[in-house]
Structure 1
Amino acid sequence: MLDETLGIGDLARLTGVPVRTIRFYCDEGIVDSVRSTGGHRRFDQAAVERLGLVRQLRGLGLGLPSIRKVLAGERSVAEVVAAERAALDVQLADLAWRRASLRAVEEAGPAVRAARLELLAAVANGGAARDALIGFWRRTMVAPVSEAMLTAFVTMAVPEPPTDPSPAQVVAFAELFALAGDRALTRGLLAMARANAELIADEDELLNGISEACALAQTRVRAGEPPRVGPELDRFVAAHASVRGGSDSPQFRRRLLSYVAADRVPRMRRYWRLVAEASGDPVTFGASHLWLTDSLERSVSPGGAAEPC
């Protein structure tokens, strides 16, 4: 049977794989061989096809652990290639984030460069920033809410890191990351959430109603219209009234304005401005919500119920 086998030199010539590499693959169990009476490695025809596949997969950058799984029939070529592509996507996103961060520091003026360097150095990548923001909102939402509603809110409140961010976007994400660690902001939101939790009958119903009001307000926000009374604000107030056991009235609106005070502090306004910068969309959920709460303030101010000129 040895007459039908190939020597290591013949195998190298047929496959284009160096002899030294073939020996390594044999030692690693990637390619099988038998020994001749003289102790030399001999290979069957199957080794040619096997080694050809190994060479092709190595040419695409796949590692030996993945190649072993293909050869063992544990995973298909399509599966390992897809996994390698996904891993490469992560690496490319990290590199794009790093490049944008470097540009952001490079383009900063001398007076702010040190502060920007410190800001950006605190965030490893966009995924880390997003995870921190998700954790921030999970910590501050103390009222019982369904996982589906929480996920929907997080989708609106936390931007997805772009695959190829601009310097301005990585700076915005880094500033959001810093805000997520702001203890004073967290304490204020927690205090509001705990106080409201005792007054709200159904948090999911409230969030649904607020989302509807924000959707109505988006057109006015996109058009740059100033806060005003109208059906958008009426829906917002009705959403709160239905879960707080009240009805829309000037007195209720004044109480409601105090209930949402923590949502309107300068740091939260800054949060939503940064979300718009990071996402590239100026009309965010937060922008619409702030428009509604500012409209609420207008509605309870002297002369505020009149339509704008």
Structure 2
Amino acid sequence: MVFGQGSQQFDQTRALGGDSTPDLLGGQRRLGGHSPRSSFEWVFDYGRNSSGVEVPVNVTENTRRDGLISIGALSRRTGVSVRTIRFYCDEGILEPRRGAGGHRLFDPATAIEQVLLVRRLRALGVGLPAIAEILTGTLSITEAIAAERAALDTELGALAWRRASLAAAEDAPPAQRAARLALLAAVHDRRGAHDTLVAFWRGLLTPMSPEMFDGFVSMNIPDPPTDPTPRRVVAYAELVTATADPALASAMSRQLWRPDPAAIRDKRELLTRIADACAVVDPLVVARVAPRPGAELDRFLAAHAAARRERDTPRFRRRLLNGANDTDPRIHRYWKLTTEITGTTTSGAAQHWLYQALTRSIAPAP
């Protein structure tokens, strides 16, 4: 019975590529009549191949006549563990050759540099899929590093936003903390919050051409701040939540189209001309020039008159002024928050400048 088990173990060892027979007393008897070795030497002197089968180190680590080296030799030359190199092979990062016994073999002319490159890129946090593309030549090292840096920037941005949000919640007075938490929850997803603002304006500016709308978005709809402070995060949250109020949308629409919007024959054309008028006014707003009648106001009123097939007359001006809602506090609050976030002038500021200029243009002379 014992002898049969030993023979079976011998057959299995030979089938798996072993080159020696195990001794039932714990020793080791080499094929070819060499002297036996202790069980400690036998266990210590074994490596492990890709399938988990034990193979002698002196078989796998010697440099072959064809110049190929074993996984152990590659490990010694690169300082990377055998286990890690085996993992790279299993993941398809390295492509070893196979010897007659199924052992991994490597060309030192290329494998050493590849392993060192993988180790250095991994130290920088570059992922294995990107490294695989680098080794196959489909991705450059510069491209991989740039992509990794961009991903890291995104992660850092999210962490900065979260930190500012936590500080904003912490800074709130105890009586207001619950409301502050609800407000901040509305912008926990920064990209989703921005999409909410875009959707709000897309509904108001439906007649606008896609190109012009993109320009409006870039100038008037702020992205989440890249350097968020608690104050700016709260301002952004207030801006986003304000768009959920139907009264704000109604007020913005009324300010945009002015009285009798049904009489406007071409809303896209009107939006284009209003945008041109606001662009002319922007430098005056930046320079803090007081609102005044003049060419800038005439340009704005001519756009509204032409859209209604009317002329810019004193009566027309009074009608536009009487129907104006530019003093609506919701409108002012919205654009104030936008300016606080962006630090730049907005279309809202230009519209308000034109409203004040219109008021002065028909006011009785002193």
TM-score by length of 1: 0.85
CA distance in 2, matches of 1:38, 1:220: 83
CA-CA distance at 1:258 after TM superposition: 5.4
Query: Where do residues 203-214 of structure 1 align in structure 2 (5 Å cutoff)?
Result: 203-214=267-278
CA distance in 1, matches of 2:251, 2:98: 76
Aligned counterpart, 2:308: 244
CA-CA distance at 1:124 after TM superposition: 2.1
> Are the equivalent residues in 2 in contact too, given 1:168–1:277 (CA < 8 A)?
no
SS of structure 1 residue aligned to 2:304 = helix
RMSD: 2.7
Relative to its length, the structure with more helix (as a share) is 1
CA distance in 2, matches of 1:220, 1:191: 24
Aligned counterpart, 2:296: 232
Aligned counterpart, 2:246: 183
CA-CA distance at 1:223 after TM superposition: 5.0
CA distance in 2, matches of 1:50, 1:61: 16
CA-CA distance at 1:188 after TM superposition: 4.7
CA-CA distance at 1:174 after TM superposition: 0.7
Kindly provide the CA deviation profile for residues 23-49 of structure 1, in whole angstroms up to 9, marking residues without a partner as x: 111111211223445554322112112
| CA 1:216–1:38: 2 relative to 1, 3 Å | closer
| Structure 1: 5+ residue stretches without partners | none
The AA in structure 1 aligned to 2:357 is: S
Query: Where do residues 99-118 of structure 1 align in structure 2 (5 Å cutoff)?
Result: 99-118=163-182
**Equivalent residue in structure 1 for 2:81, among 5, 18, 24:** 18
CA distance in 2, matches of 1:271, 1:213: 21
CA distance in 2, matches of 1:84, 1:230: 54
> Computing the radius of gyration over CA atoms, which structure comes out larger, 1 or 2?
2
| CA 1:249–1:265: 2 relative to 1, 3 Å | same
| Structure 2: 5+ residue stretches without partners | 1-62
**Equivalent residue in structure 2 for 1:284, among 325, 339, 346:** 346
SS of structure 1 residue aligned to 2:348 = helix
Structure 1 residues 193-202 or 247-256, which shifts more?
A: 193-202
Aligned counterpart, 1:265: 328
CA-CA distance at 1:173 after TM superposition: 1.0
CA-CA distance at 1:236 after TM superposition: 1.7
Percent identity for Structure 1 against Structure 2:
51
Kindly provide the CA deviation profile for residues 125-164 of structure 1, in whole angstroms up to 9, marking residues without a partner as x: 443222111111111223x321111112222220233321
Aligned counterpart, 2:233: 170
CA-CA distance at 1:192 after TM superposition: 7.3
The AA in structure 2 aligned to 1:209 is: R
Query: Where do residues 1-309 of structure 1 align in structure 2 (5 Å cutoff)?
Result: 2-3=64-65, 4-37=67-100, 39-45=102-108, 46-142=110-206, 144-189=207-252, 198-222=262-286, 224=288, 227-257=291-321, 260-261=324-325, 264-281=327-344, 283-300=345-362, 304-306=363-365
CA-CA distance at 1:221 after TM superposition: 3.2
The AA in structure 1 aligned to 2:240 is: F
The AA in structure 2 aligned to 1:2 is: R
| CA 1:56–1:214: 2 relative to 1, 3 Å | same
CA distance in 1, matches of 2:256, 2:290: 28
